[in-house]
Amino acid sequence: EVEMTQSPLSLPVTLGQPASISCRSSQSLVYDDDGYTHLNWFQQRPGQSPRRLIYKVSNRDSGVPDRFSGSGSDTDFTLKISRVEPEDVGFYYCMQGTHWPYTFGQGTKLEIK
Amino acid sequence: EVQLVESGGDLVQPGGSLKLSCAASIFTFRSNWMSWVRQAPGKGPEWLGNIDKDGNRKVYADSLKGRFTISRDNARNSLYLQMNSLRAEDTAVYYCARDPYSSDYGYGMDVWGPGTTVTVSS
């Protein structure tokens, strides 16, 4: 099973300031069958279901603001928020879809300072 | 808008069984892989398994040890999760989710339902 490790686990951010979350996998997430890296990022606002923000490292899902961006390769990945807004409060999870079983990181709690 | 709605969550005694359902609307259910994910209180999501478009291929998380079974009925646009030998640690919100399962749109859940709560307690 691929282990996903996120940091930090808690992220206090001032409104309007950038935020960055790191995610590291225990093995390469490059999928042999298609050559893509199936690393996803999810946001979970308080009391809501998770919502996918990013797939294949850097592709934003429909409706996701462009202040969210993903980057990285192989085993090291980053989610960045260029300017944090109030509605960004919640948990963020990385998840790999390259290897079965899919596995999630522990989550990063983003809060406003 | 694509919709998934889970049902069937309940309070059940340890050792008991429960079957969850997920109704899909708007999107072409039969054209998509589907997953079940759960989230225990105060914890992160845990992927339980998925099922291919026709229901012929199923993959499960090792932690389930054969207690859970995923199935689907494409004629009814429905996904199911049969849970047996339930334990206190199975207490969680259970979500069904669509998995694009494609090189174009990724491997990982892009649409989620609101979840249904399962509580295992005597």
Q: What is the pLDDT of residues A47-106, one digit of tens each?
A: 999 999 999 999 999 999 999 999 999 999 999 999 999 999 999 999 999 999 999 999
pLDDT mean across residues, chain B: 95
Q: Is the pLDDT of residue A1 over 90?
A: yes
Give mean pLDDT, residues B26-35.
Answer: 89
Map tokens 């494409």 to a residue: B74
8 Å CB contact between B94 and B4: no
Q: Is the pLDDT of residue B1 over 80?
A: no
Contacts of A56 in chain B (CB under 8 A): 106
pLDDT of residue B28: 84
Q: Is the pLDDT of residue B117 over 80?
A: yes
Query: Within an 8 Å CB–CB cutoff, is residue B59 touching chain A?
Result: yes
Q: B45 - beta bridge partners?
A: B39
C-alpha closest to that of A49 among B62, B112, B50: B112
Q: Is the pLDDT of residue B26 over 80?
A: no
Q: Is the pLDDT of residue B50 over 90?
A: yes
pLDDT of residue B48: 97
pLDDT of residue A100: 93
Whole-number Å distance between alpha carbons of A93 and B87:
26
Best residue in B107, B109, B111, B112 to probe A by mutation, most A CBs within 10 Å? Answer: B107
Rounded to a whole number of angstroms, the distance from the CA of B44 to the nearest CA of chain A is: 6
Residue B27 — pLDDT band, cuts 50, 70, 90? confident
CA R_g for chain A: 13
pLDDT of residue A85: 98
Q: Is the pLDDT of residue A23 over 90?
A: yes
Mark yes or no for CB contact B107/A102 under 8 Å: yes
Q: Is the pLDDT of residue A20 over 90?
A: yes
pLDDT of residue A68: 98
8 Å CB contact between B11 and B119: yes
pLDDT of residue B17: 98
Query: Within an 8 Å CB–CB cutoff, is residue B52 touching chain A?
Result: no
Q: Is the pLDDT of residue B65 over 90?
A: no
Q: Which two three-digit tokens encode residue A40?
A: 């996803």
Q: Give contacts of B 88-107 with A, CB under 8 A.
A: 95, 99-100, 103, 105-107
Whole-number Å distance between alpha carbons of B27 and A96:
24
Q: B121 - beta bridge partners?
A: none
